Structure formats: C-alpha cells, structure tokens
Amino acid sequence: IQLGLDKGRMTLVGPARSQEILRALKPIAKSGGGSGANTAIGLSALGARSALIAKVADDRMGRLFRDNMKSRGVSFYPIIAINPADDPLHGLDTSWKTNTGTCIVLVSPDGERTMATNLGVASTLQPEEIDLEIMTTASVLYIEAYLWDLPSTRKAISDAMIAVRNRGGKGFLQPIGCLMRGTPPRRFSATCIQPRRFTIQQ
C-alpha cells in the first residue's frame, strides 16, 4: 500500500487525510495512548499515583481514550472540547480541530515505526482551560512539548510548570521541547530530559 508517508518519521495530517489512511488499513487496533498518556500508564503500572490532563472531543475516540485511562489506573482530568462554532475563543480556522487527536502508527516488517498524527482539539488548548489547583497536589509534572510551538498552548504549558514549581514540585519537559523554536524552557524553570543520559536507580 502506498500512503505517501515518510518511513520512520512522524507526519502531521488533518482529519480527512487521517481517515483516508485508515480506510486503506484494515484491520486496525485502537487504543488510548500518546507519549504523555503512555508515561502516565507506565508510572501507574509501576505503582505510582499518576494523573493526566488532556483535551479531547466528545467523540468515539475521546470516549475510548477516557475509558482506557480509567482502566489503566490513571486519574484522568479531561478538558472536553465544545463545538468551536459556539466558542469565540476557537472561532478561526477550526474546521479540522473538532475531533480528538489521533496518531496512526504503522510498523513495517523491519520494526520501523511511521506515524501520521492529527493533533485535533489538542491544538486548541487554552491556558484558562487548565485547572491549576490540580497542580498543587503534584510533586512532579511531566509535559510532552509537541504543542510548544503554538502560542496559546505554550502559555498553558508555562502556567502549569510555574504552578507546580511554586508549590515545591519539579517540572520536566520531554526532550523535543529543548529543540523547539522560540522561548527556551528555562524561561519557566523547566528541566529538559536529555535522551540516553539518565540512569535508573533500584
């Protein structure tokens, strides 16, 4: 099957392109995931208390995601997207931002992963949508920085980091955040996790 994706890379796509790819792939397996969610699931499996804040739509994938997080022992605080047509904050160019974000992961026989990612409503996250009180109970905040390039989501990330650090907690930004354009993570006192430069102590 020729899908026009670069092997071994992640490509951002819209919902129409996402559906086009899915129609060419049958059968498929669906599961709640994503880098941040997988981290929370892994921590929960290791016995830690983990929670996740994420923006989803009230659609099938959003409900699947919520159910998956609950079944994996993750306390999930969903931000449910309302219809952009009724929301003045999201009134511009939102025709492709009304669905829950998805990532189609293709694994070739040699084990290489190729991904087609539709950010969906995650790209409309606004700072005022995050309940910063939730951060006051966290000792560690881990954030994936895929949305760091967007001004509104960057502000949401910064506010969350500051809220945790002000309460004596630690904030960590996934490595890609260190490479993004714009304001460096140290602006809001985040710690960049460098890949392959850590040790696990028993």
Q: What is the pLDDT of residues 85-97, one digit of tens each?
A: 444 444 444 444 6
Q: Note whether 82 and 136 are same-domain residues.
A: no
Choose one of 123, 140, 156: the last residue of a domain.
123
Q: Note whether 112 and 168 are same-domain residues.
A: no
Q: Note whether 9 and 95 are same-domain residues.
A: yes
Q: Provide the token pair at 54.
A: 């994420």
Q: Note whether 101 and 22 are same-domain residues.
A: yes
The more confidently predicted of residues 169 and 174 is 169
Sign of the four-CA dihedral 3, 5, 8, 9: negative
Choose one of 123, 157, 181: the last residue of a domain.
123
Q: Note whether 9 and 98 are same-domain residues.
A: yes
Q: Which residue range forms the structural domain that includes residue 132?
A: 125-196
- Say what the pLDDT of residue 132 is: 86
Q: How many domains does the chain have?
A: 2
Q: What is the pLDDT of residues 132-164, one digit of tens each?
A: 888 888 899 888 777 777 777 888 888 888 888
Task: Please calculate the CA angle 141-142-143 and round it to the nearest 5 degrees.
Answer: 120
